Chain A
């Protein structure tokens, strides 16, 4: 059953046994299929879909090693550009913050998880509250399609700048406080000194952009 037509992939929800032929704790699976985009020439389109599928498969697993919750990976098909993974039953943090408002504990946890990723040399690349799921009090990070392995401060800075921008545009009423708690959580994991370095870099990144206010 198709449950979402995302920007780059169709997302299907299926029973585990229907896909794999045997039961597994009554689990359900998500099939994420990166579909062809007619607007892009095939050379660009094929390369991007293949590259992102393999990156996602790799880093969704690697994130776990550093203590970040992510779906379990069941199958990768590079020809079909599809990934089969565990279905995380829960609520998108985008919905959660829109209905429940600010929750400092969750803010801290988001920050800690990002800290773990960066400490482990992973840049998520698409940190928005659409890509975080709250399930049984744990935050799961999904959608590693734009992620990469890097310890560069520039990339870490952009990663957090993107989240900040996403908070400002989507959760404008609580974005300042939410961002603050996220940075607190981040700092707890990577340390104060490193946090300051990253924040300083974010300032530079924002000044580079067009017409960013210099305050």
Chain B
């Protein structure tokens, strides 16, 4: 069975094609700006590139439209205008090709492609991206949220901080490079509440510190603090759930320092650490295609009328029918 998946919850538009055994293609194109995401502009970006990305994805997979058996798309959570572009494209493909359609949850798709690619069996997942920062684990038919940010996502924090330094959006890569040059740790608020955490106080204080300190040192300090928070919360969740695997995913998973910290934490507690390749960590179409395939082959069906986008679709609302 061949599944084509379209991702477009935030700044990235992606089209991926997978079979039951393999990722056949996975093409993305991202909207960039001087500061943050303007939802309408991001949606315009998606609409303008989707045709081209679709063609490229098909040609890379070496298949024709007619070979596709299933259309999957990111139904939420995410930015309304972006989700609507993707949903419309998916619906029209499904109708034109007369093949089934499945709308999937973006966060769950991140976890499942991660398990598929890395072979992790029953991990605690640390999912870090622009808007999402969650600690998830499976129990009784749901991916349950054990910990999460009480305010903004870790990537949002990075981007807002980056804007102060006049770094263009998204800022993750440059922030990490800058942090590497820092040496002096400046004391910043470390806000962990059980397995939850918050970043807005850390962000405000770091911006204040920029006035009197070297950029490199403040960047080093804010990122060391933020990464320590999410790694500590993950460790708490592993201890609480008595699970022995950690899966790191999401756009911010590309940070080398965060990877190293996760891997050290797991080493110290004799747990296994898994991370998918960067192309499958960040937002992408292949994970959506794979998630749709997983749900479809396990019996889920959707009518066109049911493919209504869900901007605030929580991970723990998805009924897991494939485990």
Binding site for B on A (CB under 8 A): 5-8, 37-41, 43-44, 47-48, 125-128, 130, 146, 158, 162, 165-166, 168-170, 172-173, 205, 208-214
Contacts and interface: CB of A to CB of B under 8 A. Distances in A.
A126 B233 CA distance: 11
Given A165-B145, A212-B314, A213-B317, A8 B193 contact: no
Given A210-B131, A213-B317, A37 B194 contact: no
Contacts of A165: 145-146, 194-196
A62 B185 CA distance: 33
Which 3 residue pairs are nearest across A and B when measured between Cβ atoms? A7-B239, A169-B144, A39-B261
B235 A7 contact: yes
Nearest to A127: B194
Q: Dominant SS at the B interface?
A: mixed
Contacts of A172: 139-140, 142, 144
Contact of A208 (B77, B151, B190, B267): B151
A38 B268 contact: yes
Contacts of B231: 39-40
B63 interface: no
A48 B191 CA distance: 11
A168 B228 contact: no
B194 A166 contact: yes
B194 A128 contact: yes
A186 to B, nearest CB: 17
A127 B232 CA distance: 16
Given A169-B144, A210-B148, A212-B314, A41 B185 contact: yes
Interface string B233-268: 001101111000000000000000000111011011
Contact of B144 (A168, A209, A214): A168
A112 to B, nearest CB: 20
Contacts of A170: 139, 240-241
B77 to A, nearest CB: 5
12 contacts: A7-B236, A7-B238, A8-B236, A39-B261, A39-B268, A44-B185, A165-B146, A172-B142, A210-B77, A211-B313, A213-B312, A214-B312
B316 A168 contact: yes
B150 interface: yes
Nearest to B146: A169
A157 to B, nearest CB: 11
A210 B153 contact: yes
Given A165-B196, A166-B146, A205-B150, 10 more contacts: A39-B265, A40-B224, A41-B224, A41-B228, A146-B194, A162-B194, A168-B144, A170-B241, A208-B150, A210-B133
